[in-house]
């Protein structure tokens, strides 16, 4: 238990996978970016505003330098050339007003750039979310049997959020920083080539050291998170099993276990703090040391009359821009790697082959009516994930329209698999499934599933109201139809007893209702659907006697005038069935009515019946 909890805790600290950015990965992401095509005009306008706002940012250090040069040492400013700064006005007030105008225009550019990029990204991501979700819910059952729900939910939440951040923020920021870095280097050279050479000889080395040091510190931080998750796991499992802890008087043991875990957290945290301190000291010393060096060398150039004081000030501002851009590249690149990894995971789902179900409501109506006759002809089936295990081996039986056919047998005999095949959750590897004498593959999936209903043993209700859960069987049903179905299912009385009646919220998976109440809501839902074929999969096996009586009455109402396939462990519920099919290890070994099967010496049904009914 501790191990599984630990793994759960660690997964919370786990980072999204990164992908290498190469030609192949870029081609994959381009497919995802095709979702932005309907909004490409706004994207291009946003890109234009991005370029303009980035380009205009260079005017700030240049005009600030001009402002400094104009406002101080005017005689020196006239004697020493200012280089590129001489293209700007020399009047102090004019320079200040120009600078404020530039900042105002840049603010407008930034506003429209952010709004347009966010609008394009949000609308594009909404389309991706919709298509990914529709793809997910139309994938075959075999897909879900091999994956965890949490993993699939992560594709819709964490992965798409990572892509969203990349489009709205990271992509724009990367373009902006590339423009600033490239333009900054050009302007640095124009201001002073000598100072630029000195800066480029030092700054890249500092950035590379900082990147590797930062990765090492992040690794230590993740280790501390993992250890903290482990200690939180101890608390969680101890509190969940507090009765066992107290019963075995193991409070001291649990405290010792927790104390040991948090001491390891402290140990890793202190190690991380030491390296963070070294890193911070290194950054402070080197960063300000670089500034001191540049100023020192620039001062020498000023004294020598090679550049003006205004040019040196402009150079320092520009070098700050360039340094910040260079320092942001590793983080932006890592974020883009995560976005590429997330894109590949989403594209994996979109590339899966889904069931032929339309996302247009009117295309999913019944086009080919089923009367209710059902036949299995020599069906052989193995689950795709376990092909070596034969679940059904040459199964054959018939159910005429309106008949009640029971399927019985020991656990693992293949009873519930028959239900899955009728609903076409899976397709048999051999044999034929016939509806009204017609092969099942000649019907559309929606025709079959619209005319087959199932009431399972473990009923899953959605977290909304009772009314919504019943109406799920027929989305176009009126309120009167919903209430009539509830009455026929023996559900109306208990629903009316709730203060909020049919608007009572059932909670996640229907936890606020008892087992019998959930079953009757499910029966009402099936009645509203009015199927031609009904499947009852252990529908009363986990109920008490009173609930079973009410549910059984509702089931009798539900089974009227329709073909019913009853999968049951309790043989008392199937005595009146028109036919009973006995399965063992995926093979039909007996078929007949209740009385006929009891006459078979050494028969499995007779044996099972004897076990259940002997006093």
Q: How far apart are the first and last CA of the chain?
A: 41
* Ranges 210-214, 250-254, 289-293, 348-352: which has the least confidence: 210-214
pLDDT at 173: 84
386-408 in b/e form (b: 16+ CB < 10 A) is eeeebbbbebebebeebbbbbbb
184 touches 58 (CB < 8 A):
yes
- Over the stretch 405-446, which tens digit does the pLDDT of each residue have? 999 888 878 888 898 899 888 888 899 999 998 998 888 888
Collapsing DSSP to helix, strand or coil, 432 comes out as strand
Q: Which residues contact 55 (CB under 8 A, 6 or more apart)?
A: 179, 183
* Ranges 74-78, 84-88, 343-347, 540-544: which has the least confidence: 74-78
Distance CA 526, CA 535 (A): 10
pLDDT at 139: 86
- Over the stretch 368-416, which tens digit does the pLDDT of each residue have? 888 889 999 999 998 887 888 888 998 999 999 888 899 988 887 888 8
pLDDT at 542: 55
Q: Report which DSSP code applies to 384.
A: G
Give the confidence band of 362 by pLDDT, cuts at 50, 70, 90.
low
Q: Which residue pairs, CB below 8 angstroms and at least 24 apart, start in 282-288?
A: 282/209, 282/210, 282/213, 283/210, 286/206, 287/206
pLDDT at 380: 92
Collapsing DSSP to helix, strand or coil, 592 comes out as strand
415 touches 450 (CB < 8 A):
no
4 touches 84 (CB < 8 A):
no
- The mean pLDDT of 12-39, rounded to a whole number, is 68
For residue 295, the Cα-to-chain-centroid distance in whole angstroms is 52
pLDDT at 551: 76
pLDDT at 84: 62
- The mean pLDDT of 503-528, rounded to a whole number, is 83
Give the confidence band of 52 by pLDDT, cuts at 50, 70, 90.
confident
Q: Which fold has domain 23-191+338-357?
A: ABC transporter transmembrane region fold (1.20.1560)
Collapsing DSSP to helix, strand or coil, 476 comes out as coil
Residue among 541, 538, 493 at smallest CA distance from 517 = 493
Distance CA 506, CA 466 (A): 6
pLDDT at 73: 47
* Ranges 76-85, 210-219, 602-611: which has the least confidence: 76-85
* Ranges 132-146, 201-215, 261-275: which has the least confidence: 201-215
pLDDT at 615: 36
For residue 180, the Cα-to-chain-centroid distance in whole angstroms is 35
Q: Which fold has domain 455-530?
A: Rossmann fold (3.40.50)
Residue 194 burial class via C-beta count within 10 angstroms: exposed 0-12, middle 13-18, buried 19 and up: middle
Q: Which residues contact 142 (CB under 8 A, 6 or more apart)?
A: 383, 384, 385, 426
pLDDT at 506: 84
Please give the mean pLDDT across all residues of the chain.
80
pLDDT at 86: 61
Residue with tokens 């063992």: 584
pLDDT at 10: 39
pLDDT at 77: 41
Q: Report which DSSP code applies to 412.
A: T
Q: Is the pLDDT of residue 6 over 70?
A: no
For residue 175, the Cα-to-chain-centroid distance in whole angstroms is 28
- The mean pLDDT of 157-176, rounded to a whole number, is 80
593 touches 434 (CB < 8 A):
no
Residue with tokens 């919709």: 130
Going across the sheet that includes 430-435, the strands are 392-399, 374-381, 430-435, 438-439
Distance CA 12, CA 84 (A): 53
Q: Is the pLDDT of residue 561 over 50?
A: yes
Distance CA 64, CA 85 (A): 10
As given in the structure block, the two tokens for residue 260 are 């040991």
Q: Is the pLDDT of residue 237 over 60?
A: yes
pLDDT at 13: 36
- Over the stretch 84-134, which tens digit does the pLDDT of each residue have? 666 666 677 887 888 888 888 888 988 898 888 888 888 888 888 888 888
- The mean pLDDT of 460-467, rounded to a whole number, is 85
pLDDT at 81: 54
pLDDT at 113: 87
Which is higher by pLDDT, 27 or 343? 343
For residue 228, the Cα-to-chain-centroid distance in whole angstroms is 25
pLDDT at 9: 39
Q: Is the pLDDT of residue 307 over 80?
A: no
Residue among 529, 460, 464, 543 at smallest CA distance from 503 = 464
pLDDT at 374: 92
For residue 169, the Cα-to-chain-centroid distance in whole angstroms is 20
pLDDT at 378: 92
Distance CA 107, CA 195 (A): 31
308 touches 77 (CB < 8 A):
yes
pLDDT at 5: 37
What region, left, alpha or beta, does residue 561 occupy, with left being phi > 0 and alpha being psi -120 to 50 degrees? Answer: left
100 touches 142 (CB < 8 A):
no
CATH of 368-451+534-539+564-615, one of 3.30.479.10, 3.30.70.60, 3.90.1150.10, 3.40.50.300: 3.40.50.300
Dihedral sign for Cα 61, 62, 68, 73, please. positive
């Amino acid at each position: 238990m501790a191990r599984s909890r630990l793994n759960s805790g660690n997964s919370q600290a786990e980072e999204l996978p990164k992908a290498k950015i190469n030609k192949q990965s870029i081609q994959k992401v381009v497919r995802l970016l095709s979702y932005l095509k309907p909004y490409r005009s706004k994207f291009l306008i946003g890109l234009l505003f991005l370029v303009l706002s980035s380009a205009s940012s260079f005017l700030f250090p240049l005009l600030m330098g001009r402002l400094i040069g104009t406002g101080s040492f005017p005689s020196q400013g006239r004697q020493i050339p200012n280089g590129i700064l001489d293209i700007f006005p020399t009047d102090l007030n004019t320079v200040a007003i120009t600078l404020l105008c530039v900042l105002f225009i840049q603010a407008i550019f930034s506003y429209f750039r952010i709004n347009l990029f966010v609008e394009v990204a949000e609308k594009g991501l909404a389309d991706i979310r919709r298509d990914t979700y529709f793809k997910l819910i139309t994938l075959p059952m075999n897909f879900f049997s091999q994956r965890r729900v949490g993993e699939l939910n992560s594709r819709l939440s964490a992965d798409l959020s990572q892509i969203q951040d990349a489009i709205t923020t990271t992509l724009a920021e990367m373009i902006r920083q590339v423009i600033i870095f490239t333009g900054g280097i050009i302007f640095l050279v124009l201001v002073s080539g000598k100072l630029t050479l000195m800066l480029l000889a030092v700054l890249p080395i500092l950035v590379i050291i900082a990147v590797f040091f930062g990765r090492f510190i992040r690794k230590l931080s993740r280790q501390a998170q993992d250890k903290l998750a482990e200690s939180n796991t101890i608390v969680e499992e101890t509190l969940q099993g507090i009765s066992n802890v107290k019963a075995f008087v193991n409070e001291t043991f649990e405290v010792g276990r927790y104390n040991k875990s948090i001491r390891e957290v402290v140990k890793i945290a202190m190690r991380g703090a030491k390296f963070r301190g070294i890193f911070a000291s290194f950054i402070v010393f080197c960063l300000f040391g670089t500034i001191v060096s540049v100023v020192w060398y620039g001062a020498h150039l000023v004294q020598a009359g090679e550049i003006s004081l205004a040019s040196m000030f402009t150079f320092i501002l520009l070098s700050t821009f360039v340094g910040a851009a260079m320092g942001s590249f590793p983080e932006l690149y890592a974020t883009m790697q995560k976005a590429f990894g997330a894109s590949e995971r989403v594209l994996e789902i979109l590339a899966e082959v889904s069931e032929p179900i339309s996302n247009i409501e009117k295309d999913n109506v019944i086009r080919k009516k089923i009367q209710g006759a059902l036949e299995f002809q020599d069906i052989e089936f193995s689950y795709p994930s376990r092909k070596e295990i034969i679940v059904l081996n040459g199964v054959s039986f018939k159910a005429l329209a309106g008949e009640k056919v029971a399927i019985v047998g020991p656990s693992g005999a293949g009873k519930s698999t028959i239900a899955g095949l009728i609903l076409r959750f899976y397709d048999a590897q051999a044999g034929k499934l016939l509806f009204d004498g017609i092969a099942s593959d000649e019907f559309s999936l929606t025709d079959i599933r619209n005319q087959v209903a199932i009431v399972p043993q473990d009923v899953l209700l959605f977290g909304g109201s009772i009314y919504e859960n019943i109406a799920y069987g027929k989305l176009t049903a009126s309120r009167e139809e919903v209430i009539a179905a509830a009455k026929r299912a023996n559900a109306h009385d208990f629903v009316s007893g709730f203060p909020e009646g049919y608007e009572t919220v059932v909670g996640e998976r229907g936890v606020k209702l008892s087992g019998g109440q959930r079953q009757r809501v499910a029966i009402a839902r099936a009645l509203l659907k009015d199927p031609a074929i009904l499947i009852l999969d252990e529908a009363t096996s986990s109920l008490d006697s009173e609930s079973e009586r009410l549910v059984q009455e509702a089931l009798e109402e539900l089974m009227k005038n329709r073909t019913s396939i009853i999968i049951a462990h309790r043989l008392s519920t199937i005595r009146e069935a028109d036919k009973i099919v006995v399965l063992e290890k995926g093979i039909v070994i007996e078929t007949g009515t209740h009385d006929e099967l009891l006459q078979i010496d050494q028969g499995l049904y007779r044996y099972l019946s004897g076990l259940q009914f002997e006093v």
